[in-house]
Chain A
Amino acid sequence: MEEIMKQFVEYPSDPYTSIAKWKENHKKKVIGVFPMWIPEEIIHAAGMLPVVMWRSNEAITWGYKHVPPYNCPINKSVVDDVVKGKLKFMDGMVFLRQCLQSQEVPFIVENNRPPAFEEYLYLPPIYHGDKASKDFTRDEFEKLRKRLEEFGGEEITDEKLNESINIYNKNRSLLRKLYDLRKQKPGILRGRDVLRIVWSSMLMPKEEHNKLLESLLSELEKNGYEPTKGKKVFLSGCLCIHPQLELLDMIEDLGMVIVDDDIYVGYRYFANDAEITDDPIGALMERHFIKTPVDPARGEIEVNWGKELVGKVKKLHADGIITLLTKYCPPHLCYYPDIKVELADAGIPEVLIEVEHEIISLEGIKTRLQSFKEMIGGF
């Protein structure tokens, strides 16, 4: 068990070195993808390793010459890493129009350290699910496929795409299984371990990750489980970035147990599969238009995030929700007041914690979490 976890932890502990080492060993291209919607399967089918760009492991310094401090953490972090040359092991980068801020990151990248391969996808919101938006999304995915074929020198056939979708579906299915297990046996893994398992999936080849996940699940099923005492909480939000491990430790050390989440480096990443069909690009496009879990950046008005959370919490018999709001993230900022009202109307306790690139005051967060713990009935 320990040996398996060690392997999961390796990539998130130092993604820069781990991925560069993998590249050196395998002589394959590495493509960084900006969170949250780029279909990695297309890059995988091109015989390259897609890795989801991450919040870095050091303070923003040079990046502030390019990005104002009131921009979101993932932008600041990626720009800082780029200008420092920390991402030079990436052969390519794929960006997207996901929100107002992310759409301009490639401008800074191109001005400073342009990668050998760069693509930008105008992925539309999903409000109306109209034909024009679907056709346009399909064209964007086809454009990525074509550009990767030119860059890699190999055709990306539908068969290859389906193989990749299959591998990714398997990964998602195993991660969902792990999450189901956690729901049944709260506390079976520490929050920090669950986070690193999901995060490692964004950084390492899915084939390897699948094997590790199978071994882990088998171990977890074999091992005995001692029920963890504590108030059951659901984590929500944290778009684009992973929360600090210390924050998850703090939640648990205060006597709460995380039973589920909808954070990006969590359930949101593996929630939806793409179908295996004779039109794999179409299948990826259709997945883009799935309305749940509600993604405030993707634009959705028919399904309500607050109601979705109420339903999940009730089903899990959780005691409350901890909202992790990525600082300066407008899609979440704008949605939050309505979520708060929905939760209050349903009598579900909730606390808001802002997540920045660097935690400014752990003590301040601890005080909020302690109060929340008392609110949900535990001292």
Chain B
Amino acid sequence: MGIEYKLNRLDTSGVGPLVDRHWRELREAKEKGQKIAWSSGPLFIYAYATPNMASHFMAGYAAYCGGRGMADEVLEAAERYGELRDTCSYHRLHTGMMAIIRKGWPISDERVVLPIPDLLIAGRFCTEMSHYMEGIHRRFGIRAVTIELPVCRKNEDRPRVEKYVTAQVKDILIPAIEEVSGSKFNEENMREIFRKWKETCIIRNKCWEFLKRKPALWTMWDYGVSIAPIFYAMGKPESHEYYVNLLAQLEERAAKNIPAVHPDGEKYRLYWDGWLPWAFLGKFIRMMGPHGAIPVTGRYPWEFFPHPEDINPEADDIVHEWIRLLYTSPNALAYHDGPWGGEEHVEKLLQDYSVDGMLFFSSKTCRLWNLGQQEIIANIERKYGIPGVVIDGDMIDSTMVSEDQIRTRIEALLETIDARRR
């Protein structure tokens, strides 16, 4: 009889109310006289720092819908409106929601319907993020601002791209935010968010250290859920409290030697690449947990957001500081998200977190990472002998997720790890 592995989840119940509160405030923002911005990509911070403006974040909304079990219903609305299935599911989710508003279609959970925004901000990090803005602009005539945020191919490209992005933010985005919100962009507000956020992220990083331990004291699943407070309550006391509590739980586990996997810790330490499958987290946990397999690190969750040690809230040019973080800081998102910088980043995570195998989640409708994934697996396997597999699916669209196929590939990976251990 084999070992019966079971996950010891941390108490992350503080996330739900915090997330609900964020979206409730967004739904009520207009009544309070605030303007609403919808943002894709990492530029939402500029709207977030504007006092008269409430800000939505595209991927956050997708996670919210997925978590509420509402993604399929909203995606169906998009399809009824004419969207094609091969289109990015985040795009369809937003255009589906707009179709529900426009057509007055009923929806079983009204909480996923947001007010029509006053401004659309597309941080064109992923080019498709701008397409949904364009669609909404065409259909509703809402003002759209698009800022090109190219992922860098080479290290030497980073400074000049950073300069270009900064110029766009200053010339186009800030004036648009000021015009729509009717208030001057508040630099001090942004600094204050950064100061508090930095404190929270330093605690977050301490929590990460417990994932490096063997056996690990928690898993990437619990961290995936815990990304929300960093986004939704950026710079707010409740975000800080959440991480103080998380760290306390981990310190207690460390003192009592309680591992993340019952009874004696994990059998397989895995790396996770690509988006988190928000609507199917439970499914993935159940597919891996009984094998004693846990993801302990991953590119996407470790990128959000730039490491706190890189933030300087007192920088002379605070507008530029955010772009610097994305482009030329040591942990630059806009470099690590491309396959060139990505491979370097993955290598580092594999070493830091003592990984046995790699799972590359390839979204069928989001092509941000999937073109380089097979190359990265091959290169890393050649260099370090760490095996990896690609699993196809989607973050929220259940029609794109085949549980059996995913289970087979996960099991194949675990068998490969076993074979190499013999």
Residue-by-residue, is A321-362 near B (CB-CB < 8 Å gives 1, otherwise 0)? 000010110110111111011000000000000000000000
Asked whether A106 lies within 8 Å of B164 as measured between CB atoms, the reply is: no
Report B-chain residues with C-beta under 8 Å of the C-beta of A124.
148, 150, 164
Partner pick for A337 among B82, B88, B362, B368, CB 8 A cutoff: B82
Partner pick for A125 among B130, B137, B161, B338, CB 8 A cutoff: B130
Asked whether A330 lies within 8 Å of B82 as measured between CB atoms, the reply is: no
A114-136 at interface with B (beta carbon < 8 Å): 120, 122, 124-125, 127-128, 130-133, 135-136
A65 interface residue per 8 A CB criterion: yes
B408 interface residue per 8 A CB criterion: no
Nearest B residue to A139 via CB reads B160
Asked whether B168 lies within 8 Å of A299 as measured between CB atoms, the reply is: no
C-alpha spacing A305/B124, complex, angstroms: 20
B392 interface residue per 8 A CB criterion: yes
Asked whether B91 lies within 8 Å of A131 as measured between CB atoms, the reply is: no
Report A-chain residues with C-beta under 8 Å of the C-beta of B150.
97, 103, 122, 124
Residue-by-residue, is B116-154 near A (CB-CB < 8 Å gives 1, otherwise 0)? 000000001011101110110111000011101011010
Partner pick for B134 among A120, A136, A299, A333, CB 8 A cutoff: A299
Asked whether A101 lies within 8 Å of B164 as measured between CB atoms, the reply is: no
Asked whether A333 lies within 8 Å of B161 as measured between CB atoms, the reply is: no
Which interface residue of A66, A100, A338 has the most chain B CB atoms within 10 A? Answer: A100
Report A-chain residues with C-beta under 8 Å of the C-beta of B172.
128, 130, 132
C-alpha spacing A363/B367, complex, angstroms: 30
Q: Nearest Cβ in chain B — how far from A145, in angstroms?
A: 16
Partner pick for A107 among B95, B130, B160, B371, CB 8 A cutoff: B371
Partner pick for A334 among B91, B145, B160, B390, CB 8 A cutoff: B91
A105 interface residue per 8 A CB criterion: yes
B86 interface residue per 8 A CB criterion: yes
Report A-chain residues with C-beta under 8 Å of the C-beta of B84.
325, 333, 336-337
A70 interface residue per 8 A CB criterion: yes
B351 interface residue per 8 A CB criterion: no
Partner pick for A111 among B168, B338, B365, B379, CB 8 A cutoff: B379
Nearest B residue to A125 via CB reads B148
C-alpha spacing A132/B171, complex, angstroms: 8
C-alpha spacing A338/B135, complex, angstroms: 7
Report B-chain residues with C-beta under 8 Å of the C-beta of A301.
134, 137-138, 144, 146
A155-178 at interface with B (beta carbon < 8 Å): none
B416 interface residue per 8 A CB criterion: no
C-alpha spacing A131/B170, complex, angstroms: 12
B339 interface residue per 8 A CB criterion: yes
How would you classify the secondary structure of chain B's contact residues: helix, strand, loop or mixed? Answer: helix
Decide: A132 near B87, CB < 8 A? Known: A66-B375, A71-B367.
Answer: no
Asked whether A100 lies within 8 Å of B87 as measured between CB atoms, the reply is: no
C-alpha spacing A52/B151, complex, angstroms: 24
C-alpha spacing A181/B301, complex, angstroms: 57
C-alpha spacing A333/B390, complex, angstroms: 25
Total interface residues on B, using CB and 8 Å?
53
A68 interface residue per 8 A CB criterion: yes
Q: Chain A contact residues (Cβ within 8 angstroms of B): what range? A: 35 or more
Which interface residue of A103, A296, A336 has the most chain B CB atoms within 10 A? Answer: A103
Which interface residue of A105, A132, A297, A340 has the most chain B CB atoms within 10 A? Answer: A132
C-alpha spacing A301/B153, complex, angstroms: 28
Report A-chain residues with C-beta under 8 Å of the C-beta of B392.
68, 70
Report B-chain residues with C-beta under 8 Å of the C-beta of A340.
82
Report B-chain residues with C-beta under 8 Å of the C-beta of A97.
127, 150-151
B155 interface residue per 8 A CB criterion: no
Asked whether B138 lies within 8 Å of A70 as measured between CB atoms, the reply is: no
Nearest A residue to B144 via CB reads A301
Report A-chain residues with C-beta under 8 Å of the C-beta of B338.
103-104, 107
Partner pick for A330 among B128, B139, B148, B339, CB 8 A cutoff: B128
B284 interface residue per 8 A CB criterion: no
Q: Nearest Cβ in chain A — how far from B227, in angstroms?
A: 22
B364 interface residue per 8 A CB criterion: yes
A248 interface residue per 8 A CB criterion: no
Report A-chain residues with C-beta under 8 Å of the C-beta of B83.
337
Nearest B residue to A136 via CB reads B164
Report B-chain residues with C-beta under 8 Å of the C-beta of A128.
145-146, 172
Asked whether B157 lies within 8 Å of A67 as measured between CB atoms, the reply is: no
Nearest A residue to B95 via CB reads A337
C-alpha spacing A130/B370, complex, angstroms: 31
Partner pick for B339 among A107, A127, A299, CB 8 A cutoff: A107
Q: Nearest Cβ in chain B — how far from A38, in angstroms?
A: 15
C-alpha spacing A75/B83, complex, angstroms: 23
A18 interface residue per 8 A CB criterion: no
C-alpha spacing A195/B131, complex, angstroms: 29
Nearest B residue to A70 via CB reads B364
Asked whether A330 lies within 8 Å of B88 as measured between CB atoms, the reply is: yes
Partner pick for B367 among A65, A132, A330, A338, CB 8 A cutoff: A330
Report B-chain residues with C-beta under 8 Å of the C-beta of A108.
371-372, 375
Asked whether B390 lies within 8 Å of A299 as measured between CB atoms, the reply is: no
C-alpha spacing A116/B8, complex, angstroms: 54
C-alpha spacing A299/B87, complex, angstroms: 16
Asked whether B374 lies within 8 Å of A70 as measured between CB atoms, the reply is: no
C-alpha spacing A333/B374, complex, angstroms: 25
Q: Nearest Cβ in chain B — how far from A227, in angstroms?
A: 37
Report A-chain residues with C-beta under 8 Å of the C-beta of B137.
301
B340 interface residue per 8 A CB criterion: yes
Asked whether A334 lies within 8 Å of B128 as measured between CB atoms, the reply is: yes
Q: Nearest Cβ in chain A — how far from B343, in angstroms?
A: 9
A304 interface residue per 8 A CB criterion: yes
Asked whether A131 lies within 8 Å of B131 as measured between CB atoms, the reply is: no
Q: Nearest Cβ in chain A — how far from B230, in angstroms?
A: 25
Residue-by-residue, is B348-390 near A (CB-CB < 8 Å gives 1, otherwise 0)? 0000000000000010110110111011001100000000001
C-alpha spacing A283/B64, complex, angstroms: 47
A-B contact pairs, 22 of them (CB 8 A): A68-B362, A68-B370, A68-B392, A70-B365, A70-B367, A100-B368, A103-B150, A108-B375, A111-B379, A120-B153, A122-B150, A132-B167, A133-B148, A135-B167, A136-B164, A296-B131, A301-B138, A301-B146, A328-B86, A330-B127, A335-B131, A338-B135
Task: Give B residues with C-beta under 8 Å from A.
Answer: 81-84, 86-88, 91, 95, 124, 126-128, 130-132, 134-135, 137-139, 144-146, 148, 150-151, 153, 157, 160-161, 164, 167-168, 171-172, 338-340, 362, 364-365, 367-368, 370-372, 374-375, 378-379, 390, 392
Q: Which 5 A-B pairs have the closest CB atoms?
A: A132-B167, A334-B131, A337-B82, A104-B371, A107-B339
